[in-house]
Amino acid sequence: SYGNAKPPDGSTIETWDGRLWVGGVPGYEEFLFPSGLDTPEQFDMTFNLMLREREAGKVLRIMEFSNELWAFKAASIWKVARTGDSYIVDKLVEDVGLGAVGSAVRCGKDMLVFLSNHKRIEILTPTGLAQAEFPISAKVKETLASINTAVIHKCAAGNYVERGEYRLAVPTGSNTEPDTVIVFNYLRGTFGLDDYAYSPTSMNLTDYAAGSRALLLGSSSGGLYRADEAASTDDGAGITMDVQTGWLTTPNKVKIFKLFLDYVLPETKAMSFRIYKNFEGTPAWDKTLDGNTPAGADPELRNTIRAKLGMAVQGKAFSFRFVNSDDAKIKVSQINAVVIHREKGQGVQAA
């Protein structure tokens, strides 16, 4: 017979190719142990696969992906494939590995997203790491860099299929529980940040009613929450919208002295509009803009407000930020800035 040893005590398991696979076994951290075919309770400890070349390192996570078995270590990624009656082990990625065990999530048939040991969000495809570069804002980069390494194992991730979003909850700074959620929309290639009134420690896409599916989030205090894009509160607390553009740079120093802003904002609501310069963390200009657009169910049908704003903000790099804490739908459609700049030998110019 195949063997009658009990399943080994490992830290990661997966079912693939009709077998139960176990990795991270104490004393055999670099080995994978498969069960007998269609007998997940039977193991032969002499039948195993070793994942090692030059570096030593524990197998942190194994996952079935693209009809193959993938193994993550701290600084490498391995693949186990079946050929005939045997298995072939290949190391596909070197120097990049899994930074947080709970961060690896399958996002579709040909995409697996995870937080790497370099505190970057990486995309794994059936042929290896994707080379596509997505624009990441300074805030998202700062959040990734500030992940508390001492408790990085508490990171939790989920795939919000209906929105095409990979969501990763991370503990930042001195926080010992996840406090910020990085949202990567893999359909649009965009990044954003969310925070909640609680610490999300788990995420699972679950059918919670007939024909209804949602991303459920568990909290460090034992609560269970449902992600709802139509919600206007977060566990009873207001939700703040905070959007900041990337940095717009100019080769020469310029001065913004007039700005036209087109936006939609219901009456009785307000929005903070802030301008930052030269990559500084505090705004150089801040103004509260009032709404006077008639309320209605469809913001696309409301009148657009055109605000003429005077200012004197000088620099070579500018970023615009919009903040609102009301229960309101807001749309910013256009920013037109009139700037003054000085060309050598031509004096002051306006554009």
Q: What are 30-68's pLDDT values in tens digits?
A: 999 999 999 998 998 889 999 987 767 899 999 999 999
pLDDT at residue 274 tops 80: yes
Query: Percent of the chain having pLDDT more than 90?
Result: 48
Range with the lowest mean pLDDT among 48-62, 120-134, 212-226, 327-341?
327-341
pTM for the full model?
0.78
Q: What are 188-207's pLDDT values in tens digits?
A: 889 989 888 889 999 888 87
pLDDT at residue 141 tops 70: yes
pLDDT for residue 2:
53
pLDDT for residue 293:
57
Dig out the tokens for 229 from the structure: 């894009």
